[in-house]
Structures are given as C-alpha cells and as structure tokens.
Amino acid sequence: MNETDTGTSTETGTPATDPTATDPTATDVVGLMRTELRGPVIAQGDPEYDEARKIYNGMIDRKPTAMVRCSDAADVMTAVDFIRDHGLELAVRGGGHSGGGLCLVDDAITIDLSPMRWVRVDPAQKTAWVGGGSQLRDLDHAAHAFGLAIPAGIMSTTGIGGLTLGGGHGHLTRKYGLTIDSLLSVDMVLADGSFVTASETEHSDLFWALRGGGGNFGIVTAFKFQLHPVHTVGVALTLWPVEKTREVLEWYREFLPQAPEDLSGFFAALTVPPGPPFPEEIHGKKMCGVVWCWTGDLARTDEAIAAVAEVEAGPPAFRFTAPMPYPALQSMFDELLRKGLQWYWRGDFFDRITDEAIDVHVKFAENLPTALSTMHLYPVNAAAARVSEDATAWGYREAVWSGVIAGIDPDPANADAVKQWARAYWHDLHPYSMGGAYVNFIGEDEHQDRVQATYRHNYDRLAEVKRKYDPNNLFHANQNIEPAAGKAA
Ligand SMILES: Cc1cc2nc3c(=O)[nH]c(=O)nc-3n(C[C@H](O)[C@H](O)[C@H](O)COP(=O)(O)OP(=O)(O)OC[C@H]3O[C@@H](n4cnc5c(N)ncnc54)[C@H](O)[C@@H]3O)c2cc1C
C-alpha cells in the first residue's frame, strides 16, 4: 500500500505518508508523526523522555529516538508507514516486560501500545477482545467478574502482547493449555501498513505463525480469546530447606507429570521474603518448594497435594493453603518483583528431570547470588501436550517443564554477579534439557541458533510465513526469524 500520493490508500482507508523528495532526518519524521497521530510522540529532549523509556528490566538503559504512543489501530498503521517509508529502525512495546528489553532499541522508534489497554468480555460466548497493549491484570480483572479466565503468566503486570505471541504459560496451563491455545483471532497491522484479521479461517498461515512466533509478523492491535470457567482457585505453597532439594525434586519429577489436570505446581529455588505469610524464623532462608494451583473442588485442595507427605526428606517446613480469587494469585508476586529491578534470565525445556540435572539444581540452589534470584520449572504438559505439534508454531508440545533461571537484584552493582550465576547454572544444566527454550526465556545475549533450537522443525515454515508477510524484516527487534530466501510469495 501507500503507492498513492492522494493521502489515502483505497485498500485499507488508511492515511498514507507523504515522503519528501529530500530525505528527512529522524527528527523531521518525529515532527511529522506528531501532526498525524492521535497519541503522543515522546522524543529525546522531551521532559517525559527518561521516564517513558523505563521498562520492567532496570538493567536495560537504551535511548530510542522516540516513543510513539499509539492510541488505536489507525495510529499503528500510520506509524508503521512513517517508520518504514523513512528507513528508520522500528521496535514494538506491549507490556515492556521482555528480559532483553526487545521493545527498546538505541536510535529506533518504538511503537508503544501502552495506551491500548482495554478489554471487552462477551459473557454469553465466553470470549474477550483485548487491546494489544494490555497487561495480564486488565484481562484478569475484566474476566473475573464473569467467573472466567485464560491461562497466562504468573505476574499480572506482564504484557499480554509479548506473552501471547511467544506462547504463554502459567498456573492454568495443565488444565487449559498454553495462552495461544485459547487464542481465537487477532487484529493486526502488517509491515506494509495494511490491517488484517487472522484466525483459523482468515490468513490461517499467519495465525499459525503468530501462535508462538513472537512479534515477527506484525503488530497485534487486538487479541480475541476463548475464556474458561475459573473464579476462585485453591492456592498452596510448600517449602523445604534448600538442603532437601534433591529429595524434593526426586519426588516432584514423579508426582507432577501424572497429577490430575486440575493441579499445577511449579518448582522453585528461592530465598524466603521477609514478610507474610512466612513466619519470621524462615525469613531470608534459602529454600526450595512448589507453588500449587488447584482448579478442582476447593474443599479438596489439601487432599490434592497430600502426596507432599511422601517426600523422603520429610514434610514441608512451611505449608500454606488458601482459596484465592484467580486475579489475586496472578498478582501475588507483583509487589516482590516490582518494575526496575536488574534481571538476567535464560531458559530451557525439559521432558524429564534427570539425576544429573538434580545435581546441578542442588549446587546452584545452594548458591543463589541474591535474595530475589530464583529458578522455576513451569509445567507445560497435560492439556498443552494434547495440541498437535503442527497446529501452532510452538515447537515443544512434548515438553513437561519450561525452566527459567533468573538472576535478579535491585542494585545495579550486582548486575554482573546475577548474570554470571545464571549463565553458569544454564551452562551446566543445558545438557540435560531438550535443547531449546521457551522463546520468551531466551537470554538477551544468546545467539540466533537458540531461536532455531526453539522452533526446530517449525523454523523453516515460520521463515516462509515471514517472507510472505514481512519480506524486508521490518519487525526484527524480537527473537528474530529471518525471511526465507527468495521472492515473497
Ligand atoms: C517477572 C516476569 C514474569 C514472567 N512470567 C511469565 C510466565 O509466567 N509465563 C510466560 O509465558 N511468560 C512469562 N514471562 C515472560 C513474558 O512472557 C515475556 O517477557 C514477554 O515478552 C512479555 O511481553 P511484553 O509485551 O510485556 O513485553 P515487551 O518487551 O513489550 O515485548 C516483547 C516482544 O513482544 C513484541 N510484542 C509485544 N506486544 C506486541 C503486540 N501487541 N504485537 C506485536 N508484537 C508485540 C515486542 O515487539 C517484543 O519483541 C515473564 C516475564 C517477567 C519479566
């Protein structure tokens, strides 16, 4: 589109850009965008610039030329046209939660979707339309009023955009699958500035690729999800001293894969935070344990996790059980892990937890470098595993766990220490993994071969879809899938 100089594309009804004869500077383009867009454009030199470029990971300090706060799909279409036509670098910000700060690139223009936080629930159809810049908490809040929810991540401030496009897993994944397994359709803006809807019946190749392929194919302005009946869930926390890590993992690796699908429990190595619900005597202690979510009969929550008594090392040193509204579980860690901390993470998929892997966990769990650093194993089996391998771009339907090693600390002086610990842990553990990682857990300094390992048999098909919809790789500030060689179809 935009072949026309009349100001409007007949194909989409979008205002077209008006490239000048002489190449304008990035600053000129920013000025032009200010006049065309409804949302604000925040550029270097503006008083709100430094605040606007802060993202979740405090370790990322990049200086884009400008951040374009799009108010709707029309703004996104206009901004894409401006950026592409003037040969500028483009990044896209959903919730700003990616570990490597993919939404922020030096000297680029960020299309910031954060004004597009809205949700419309259709309780009769049990569906929800969700704005492309929404956070998980927006959907949790709106759907909960109707006793509905989708499987998504464990922190409510995470962006629905990046999480869903990467696949998305959380407490409800064993019961209802990955986030993409509840995705019905999307509205999106492509690299040529056109607006399309993608679903199983429209642009089905694109819809396949979007479910796991990240932000490679365009900018999603709205997601439509199938909701599930979830209101109040049984939440439990069982913790053992870190010295019992071996025995707990030996029990957990047998119990979790065959547990009822109403039960999920992610394993964690952690330092106990200094506050409720933890008793003072375990504050600051290194421990290991499982965070449980039970979607069955609430009166049977304790029964669902009764098997923890079978851990050879003995019963948990700390045990907490409570019914919780689902949004409360989803926001349980928000305060502990607030915006601005230093983060460095790496991940891998696992289909088993071998004795050798347990040796590695024991070693590194005892040496957590800071109070917030942690390792989680998120279950991605059961309902998620029943979706066929070729139904979506997610490449690891036979994985049982998606693991993440996260070095975290408030103090920038500890950035190197948390990085080194996470890298060394990952280096020792990786040989006992399935080879690839959840795309949203790939470290910022990892190489392209990790993206290929993540998509493995799906990579070539993704590259073909990329060639069709984004042949010049406009959308490359992501875990990038390069367009297949040859002419666009
Ligand atoms: C504390 C924490 C906890 C987490 N827990 C979980 C978890 O439980 N489960 C889980 O699955 N993941 C989890 N994640 C990982 C999370 O899914 C990723 O970090 C994800 O990238 C966040 O998306 P975002 O939109 O907030 O990020 P952003 O940094 O804004 O974007 C990330 C990528 O997605 C692209 N993108 C974002 N929105 C759109 C859109 N609307 N259209 C097109 N492209 C878009 C961006 O261009 C960028 O490439 C967690 C992350 C953090 C920091």
> Tell me: the pLDDT tens digits for 386-424?
999 999 999 999 999 999 999 999 999 999 999 999 999
Residue 376's pLDDT is 98
Q: Which residues of 50-62 are buried (b: 16+ CB within 10 A; e: fewer)?
A: eebbebbbbbbee
Mean pLDDT in the chain? 93
- Round to whole Å and give the CA distance between 82 and 36: 10
Which position has the token pair 């071969």?
449
132 close to 152: Cβ distance less than 8 angstroms? no
Tokens linked to 233: 């869930």
For 168-188, what is the mean pLDDT?
98
Whether the bond between 277 and the residue before it is cis, its omega within 30 degrees of 0, is yes
Same topology for domains 3-112 and 119-229+452-469, yes or no? Answer: no
The three-class DSSP label of residue 432 is helix
Residue 15's pLDDT is 41
Centre of ligand 1 from the C-alpha of residue 37, in Å = 25
In degrees, rounded to 5, the angle at the alpha carbon of residue 138 between the alpha carbons of residues 159 and 163 is 25
Whether the bond between 316 and the residue before it is cis, its omega within 30 degrees of 0, is no
- Round to whole Å and give the CA distance between 315 and 318: 9
Give 357-382 pLDDT, tens digit per residue: 999 999 999 999 999 999 999 999 99
- Round to whole Å and give the CA distance between 238 and 235: 10
pLDDT band of 23, cuts 50, 70, 90: low
The domain spans of the chain are: 3-112, 119-229+452-469, 232-443
Centre of ligand 1 from the C-alpha of residue 486, in Å = 31
- Round to whole Å and give the CA distance between 373 and 417: 11
For 57-83, what is the mean pLDDT?
97
- Ligand 1 pocket residues where CB is under 6 Å: 56, 92-99, 102-103, 113, 132, 153-155, 158-159, 161-163, 165-166, 168-170, 214-215, 219-220, 337, 440, 477-478
> Which residue has the least CA distance to atom 13 on ligand 1?
153
Give 33-66 pLDDT, tens digit per residue: 999 999 999 999 999 999 999 999 999 999 999 9
Residue 486's pLDDT is 73
Q: Which amino acid is at 33?
A: M
Strand pairing report for 286-294 and 232-241: antiparallel
Burial label for 445, CB within 10 Å (0-12, 13-18, 19+), is exposed
Which position has the token pair 């297949």?
484
What's the CATH fold of domain 232-443? Vanillyl-alcohol Oxidase; Chain A, domain 3 (3.40.462)
Considering the domain 3-112 in this protein, what is its CATH number?
A: 3.30.43.10
The pTM of the full predicted model, rounded to 2 decimals, is: 0.94
Residue 280's CB: how many other CB atoms inside 10 A? 9
pLDDT above 90 coverage of the chain, percent: 90
Say yes or no to pLDDT of 5 above 90: no
Residue 434's pLDDT is 98
pLDDT band of 297, cuts 50, 70, 90: very high
Centre of ligand 1 from the C-alpha of residue 397, in Å = 20
For the CA atoms of 443, 435, 475, 153, what is the dihedral angle to 10 degrees?
-70
Tokens linked to 346: 């790496």
Ligand 1: nearest atom to the Cα of 475: 47
Give 3-state DSSP helix, strand, coil % of the chain, rounded to 5.
35, 25, 45
Selecting from 3.30.200.20, 3.30.465.10, 3.40.50.720, 3.90.1150.10, what CATH number does the domain 119-229+452-469 have?
Answer: 3.30.465.10
Residue 1's pLDDT is 29
Centre of ligand 1 from the C-alpha of residue 285, in Å = 30
Phi, psi of 404 (to 5 degrees): -135, 135
Tokens linked to 52: 């606007």
For 159-185, what is the mean pLDDT?
98
Q: What is the helix (H) or strand (E) element at residue 453, kind and residue range?
A: helix 448-455
Tokens linked to 359: 């040796």
Tokens linked to 211: 């479910």
